[in-house]
A and B are shown apart, each in its own frame.
Chain A
Amino acid sequence: MALNFIWLAMIVLGVCYAGFTGQIDLISPAAFAAAEQSVGILLEMAGILGLWLGLLNLAEKSGFVDMLAKVLYPIAAFLFPDIPRKDPAMGAIVMNMSANLLGLGNAATPFGIKAMEEMARLNGHSPVASNSMITFLVLNTSSVTLIPATVIGLRTKAGALNAVDIVLPTFLATVIGCTAGLLAERILRKWFS
């Protein structure tokens, strides 16, 4: 299990490296600072998840998601052939895709987790990831976006001549990265059953 291995490797390598370089005193503060920081993230996450999932509920109950789903359905149906059109999973996926496209990172995560929950239900709550889940993950880790808002903000603050000149290059890089990921998923799925 790759993530178990990477998790362990980061800790072991970190502690050993600090030990060999005579800086073992760096480890405990780093570990506890990270643990503390995670509580801050929990509080922030709870607020942001609450806000966006509250809005998602409004968007679902009022039929807003259905309208959006109609527009994005051709792409979603191509990427997720296993998911029925009217399923709540499709609604959450479509909302997540829209949030990513618009560069709303903190909205994309709540919709993404919601989509995962719906896909887990379709998958009979199996502990094994489905192909749709992995496809969905690629869309999110490569974050196809039209407006990289955070970076534009950083560049503006730093006094860039043209803060948005990176929009098209970013879009191209993200689309090509995402396509590569989707192709890799199609190829590798046979080997990992």
Chain B
Amino acid sequence: MAALYGISQWMIPLILVVIPLWAWFKQVSVYDCFVEGAAEGVKTAIRIFPYILGMLVAIGIFRGSGALAALTDLVSPVLGKIGFPAEVLPLAVIRPLSGSGALGVTAELINAYGPDSFIGHLASVMQGSTDTTFYILAVYFGAVGIKKYRHALWVGLTADCVGFLTAIFICHLFFPLS
């Protein structure tokens, strides 16, 4: 298992050397080709910027006002009944909204309760097993001018909810006494 982390540290350096080298052997003019692709990336970043700005400001207001914390307090007694520890609830609420926010909460939980506690394990699994649904939705659809999302949001949130509930169940199985 420790090898897995070693692999993940080697992954990006390997990609950085293998792809250009492979292209070189295939007679691609590597630098020109790279720059051509990079130009597209910069344009894309500018096109998605307004969507990121809009999302971050709304989430910033919701979080900064204390309303997010109040919402968390409101729903935690209900969720406590299904074996969902109240400490981890802010993470479940913030995970679909803000990637950096969720990472901050996960780091806090791991440091406060210890990485090998039940809460530390659960926070780690939750953080790793879902992604920032609202952000991805806004950015991916914003980039190509989709106005009618149809069922996208509901499907994304279904995946998040099932992922969270599964994370709790699996953590009870894998880390019962921690």
CB distance from A20 to the nearest CB of B (A): 10
Chain B, residue nearest A193 (CB): B150
Q: Does B143 contact A (CB under 8 A)?
A: yes
A141→B37 contact, CB < 8 A:
no
With A155-B124, A162-B1 in contact, do A174 and B34 touch (Cβ < 8 Å)? no
CB contacts (< 8 Å) of A170 on chain B: these are: 124-125, 128-129, 167
Q: How far is the CA of A35 from the CA of B159 in the complex (A)?
A: 29
B141→A129 contact, CB < 8 A:
yes
| B contacts, CB < 8 Å to A | 1-2, 4-5, 7-8, 11-12, 15-16, 19-20, 22-23, 25-26, 28, 30, 33-42, 44-46, 48-49, 52-67, 70, 96, 103, 106-107, 110-111, 114-116, 120-121, 124-134, 136-141, 143-156, 158-160, 162-164, 166-167, 170-171, 174-175
Which of B34, B37, B144, B162 interacts with A117 by CB under 8 Å?
A: B144
A165→B121 contact, CB < 8 A:
yes
CB distance from A123 to the nearest CB of B (A): 9
CB distance from B175 to the nearest CB of A (A): 8
Which of A35, A61, A133, A138 interacts with B56 by CB under 8 Å?
A: A35
CB contacts (< 8 Å) of B116 on chain A: these are: 160-162
Interface size class of A (residues with CB under 8 A): 35 or more
Q: Is the interface of A mostly helix, strand, loop or mixed?
A: helix
Chain B, residue nearest A185 (CB): B155
CB contacts (< 8 Å) of A27 on chain B: these are: 61, 64-65
B124→A166 contact, CB < 8 A:
yes
Q: Is the interface of B mostly helix, strand, loop or mixed?
A: helix
A141→B133 contact, CB < 8 A:
yes
With A166-B128, A173-B166 in contact, do A113 and B44 touch (Cβ < 8 Å)? yes
B160→A116 contact, CB < 8 A:
no
Q: Which of A13, A155, A171, A191 has the most chain B CB within a 10 Å cutoff?
A: A155
CB contacts (< 8 Å) of A15 on chain B: these are: 61, 65
Chain B, residue nearest A21 (CB): B66
With A3-B149, A172-B166 in contact, do A35 and B53 touch (Cβ < 8 Å)? yes
A102→B11 contact, CB < 8 A:
yes
CB contacts (< 8 Å) of B153 on chain A: these are: 2-3, 6
CB distance from A61 to the nearest CB of B (A): 5
Q: Does A54 contact B (CB under 8 A)?
A: yes
A169→B170 contact, CB < 8 A:
yes
Which of A30, A57, A129, A141 interacts with B130 by CB under 8 Å?
A: A141
A169→B26 contact, CB < 8 A:
no
CB distance from A42 to the nearest CB of B (A): 5
A147→B7 contact, CB < 8 A:
yes
CB distance from B9 to the nearest CB of A (A): 8
New A-B contacts (14) at CB < 8 Å, excluding given A113-B140, A128-B146, A177-B162: A10-B61, A17-B66, A42-B46, A53-B44, A54-B33, A58-B30, A58-B34, A107-B15, A134-B150, A156-B5, A165-B175, A177-B166, A189-B150, A192-B150
Q: How far is the CA of A107 from the CA of B173 in the complex (A)?
A: 33
B151→A134 contact, CB < 8 A:
yes
B170→A172 contact, CB < 8 A:
yes
